Amino acid sequence: MPAATDGPDRRNFLLDVLRLGSLAAGSVGVGAWLSTRSRRPAEGQVLTVDRAPGVPPDPNLPELVVTQGADPRRLVQRAIAELGGASRFIARGDVVVIKPNIGWDRSPEQAVNTNPLVVAELVTLCLGAGAHKVIVTDVSSNEPRSCFDRSGIREAAMSAGAEVILPAPRRFKDVNLRGDWLGVWPVLDPFLEADKVINVPIAKHHSLTGVTLGMKNWYGILGGQRRRLHQRIDESLVDLAAFMRPTLTVMDAYRILVRNGPNGGGAHDAEEKRTVIASLDPVAVDAYAAKAWWNLDARRLRYLTLAEERGLGKTRFEDLRTKTVDLAE
């Protein structure tokens, strides 16, 4: 499928690509663990972390890529290739952390956690680009080992050559997030030591925020009482995104949770969209997915407008150079 052209209907064109592809595909004890297992380090050990600068823009490449087709691994391969290839993002010797959503003790059919094949392909691409080590990790809401195993992510990531790290008390370090709302929080240490971080959320409905996408996925770097973040959830999401500033965002929308999020009720709450969205702009990725499948504009998602005001990306995804690829053709 050719790249979208400029013009007044560009936004609708981009969304129609997703919706048509979706129609063709067809449809088909949260706080307890964190509060007991994520203890804070001793006083006086608070860290301040400066994130590495992002990948420089390239005017010859698309800024946002949408791929659709039957094979999740091919969707990831093509999306990364269109953005310039894995070597654009990963340098030889890098330690790379891949951050899926592994929050819930659910199977892949329930579309609550990131698709394991999407994760595995990213591991393969990073190692192929010369990464010294690729780590796959998350701070789960349910019991971590059950989440990592039942989601299929642990087995898929390890088979591709990744080191899989389950959260443990010794791995949390107090960090000053230096946010407008968030101050010192315990952060899982792989996120502090990585050279590159790739955010790999799954697109889901959320009962509180409407949707849970890429920026909401950063809840999974924190220990402690994460429910407190809901007091000012929009500001919290932006503070976390500003702290992390991922190298790349790869949105898994192969099978999405369209209702009863964030942890779902059953496989009937999920629909196949057979899509991957990838970009250096995390705000645009969230804005795109929210509009495409929940018809939510950025002005209805306050965290997106706040993120744009903080310089984290663009809510008007239609203004980005966009490439759409249908791998069924």
Contact call for residues 302 and 215 (beta carbons, < 8 A):
no
- Give 188-219 pLDDT, tens digit per residue: 999 999 999 999 999 999 887 889 999 999 99
Residue 22 belongs to some domain of the structure: no
- Give 100-145 pLDDT, tens digit per residue: 999 999 999 999 999 999 999 999 999 999 999 999 999 999 999 9
By the 10 Å C-beta count (0-12 exposed, 13-18 middle, 19+ buried), 93 is classed as: exposed
Residue 193 belongs to some domain of the structure: yes
- Residue 162 tokens read as 């990744």
Whole-number Å distance between alpha carbons of 188 and 97: 11
Whole-number Å distance between alpha carbons of 77 and 162: 17
- Residue 275: band (very low, low, confident or very high) from pLDDT cuts 50, 70, 90: very high
CATH number of the domain encompassing residue 314: 3.40.50.11440
- The total domain count for the chain is 1
- Give 137-161 pLDDT, tens digit per residue: 999 999 999 999 999 999 999 999 9
- Give 69-101 pLDDT, tens digit per residue: 999 999 999 999 999 999 999 999 999 999 999
Residue 8 belongs to some domain of the structure: no
What does the angle CA 263 – CA 293 – CA 7 come to, to the nearest 5 degrees? 150
Q: Which domain holds residue 197?
A: 40-50+62-324
How remote is the C-alpha of 189 from its chain's centroid? 18
Residue 2 has pLDDT above 50, yes or no: no
Residue 11 belongs to some domain of the structure: no
Residue 6 belongs to some domain of the structure: no
- Residue 78 tokens read as 């093509």
What does the angle CA 68 – CA 72 – CA 76 come to, to the nearest 5 degrees? 80
Residue 152 belongs to some domain of the structure: yes
Cβ neighbour number for residue 6 with a 10 Å cutoff: 10
pTM of the predicted protein model = 0.88
Angle between helices 116-128 and 72-82 (to 10 degrees): 40
Residue 13 belongs to some domain of the structure: no
The DSSP bridge pattern shows strands 202-206 and 210-212 to be antiparallel
